[in-house]
Amino acid sequence: MSSVFFALLLAATPPPDADEILRRAQAVVLGETAGYTLRMTVTRPGKAERVVEIKGFKKGDDLGLIRYTAPPKERGTAYLRKGDNTWLFLPSAEKVVRVGPKQNFGGGDFSNGDIFRLSLTRDYTATLAGEETLLSQACWRLELKARDRSVAYDRVVYWVRSDGTYYPVKADYYTLSGRRLKWLTLSEVGRLGDRSRPTLLTMESALEVGAKTLLRFLTIDDKAKPDDRLFTPSALERGE
């Protein structure tokens, strides 16, 4: 009786507006501030998998820092993102160089922007385009349109679970010409850190059949409180 009541109640409750859905979905995987470790696996048809492990910090929408921790030959290489600026630290040269935000991150299917610029709410205007079942999940379908042309994708279609968890399920990324460039699937919901969340992010390329990059979160520390000065080129140059 009560479950029927709640089902009716949910059905009768209007969904939150699109910006609110997007805002809550964005905070699901990594909150405002976090420290984390993850494993990135890059798959290319006919080639051996490439696996790297990463330790990272994020703070707000503007600050991100990651360092490669494995394999040993990549250890110490680090990326810093601050607003629209991205720097790369090369330990062999002990040098910090600027790299563009649209460059592929680590040679995979995620761009630097995908990794560091996690704020879709700031870069896109969202509209609720409907409700769909996707990957066996009831979802809201959001249409995101770039606020300006500085971002990597002109349009993003974003599916968010409508069961109250706000877990993002999938995102399709489109170019200015309307072509789907790649798509992201968020899966393997599990407890990591203080709460449950999708722990596997898979980016697949529409440009190369079978090409994909997996980001598997290994640890997440929602209580990390990195100092803002960690996110400076000077701190990057200091190495780890």
Partner 1 sequence: MSRRLACLVLALSAAAGATAGEQEIELGLENFYYRTDETLFNRGNILGLDRGEDLLRGTLRLKRSLGAARLVVSGFVERRLGGGDATETTLRQAYLQYGWGEGLTLRVGKQRIGWGSGFAWNPTSRIEPPKNSLNTSLEQQGAVAARMDLIPVTWAGLVLVAARSEVDRGDLPFETPRARRRTGALRARFLLADTDLALVFSGGKNQRTLVGFDLARDVGALSLHAEGAFYKGAELPPSRDGQTFFRLAAGLLHARGDDSFTLEYFFNGEGYSDASAAAFFSRLEAAFRLAPEAYLAAVGTAYAGGLGLRRHYAQGSWTRGSAGGKWTLSGRGTVGLSDGGIALTPGVVYAPRGNVTLHGEAVLLLGSKESEYGHSPLRGALSARVKVLF
Q: Is 46 in the site for partner 1 (CB under 8 A)?
A: no
The two tokens of residue 216 are 């598997």
Site pattern 107..146 for partner 1 (x: CB under 8 A):
xx--------------------------------------
What is the Cα–Cα distance from 184 to 208, expressed in whole angstroms?
Answer: 15
237 part of the interface to partner 1, by CB under 8 A: yes
Residue 209 engages partner 1 in binding (rule: CB under 8 A): no
**Rounded to whole angstroms, how far apart are CA atoms 34 and 44?**
30
Tell me the window of 46-54, 113-121, 140-148, 170-178 that interacts with partner 1 (CB under 8 A): 46-54
Binding pattern to partner 1, positions 171-190, x when CB under 8 A?
A: --------------------
Residue 55's beta-bridge partner residues?
37, 67
Considering beta carbons, is residue 9 or 48 the nearer one to partner 1?
48
Q: Which stretches of the chain are DSSP H helices?
A: 2-12, 18-29, 112-116, 120-123, 233-237
Q: Which of 165-190 are b and which e, b meaning 16 or more Cβ less than 10 Å from the residue's Cβ?
A: bbbbbbbbbbeeeeeebbbbbbeebe
User: Phi-psi category of 130—alpha, beta or left, where left has phi over 0 and alpha has psi -120 to 50?
Assistant: left
Tell me the site size for partner 1, rule CB under 8 A: 48
Single out the residue of 60, 102, 179, 196 in contact with partner 1 (rule: CB under 8 A): 102
Output the CA angle 125-167-221, nearest 5 degrees: 105
Can you read off the two tokens belonging to residue 120?
């879709």
Segment contacting partner 1 (CB under 8 A): 24-32, 82-90, 159-167, 175-183? Answer: 82-90
List 7, 8, 17, 83, residue binding partner 1 (CB under 8 A)? 83
Using rule CB under 8 A, residue 94 touches partner 1: yes
Among 21, 29, 30, 42, indicate the residue that binds partner 1 (CB under 8 A).
42
Residues contributing to the site for partner 1 (CB under 8 A): 40, 42, 48, 50-52, 68, 70-75, 77, 82-86, 92-104, 106-108, 227-235, 237-240
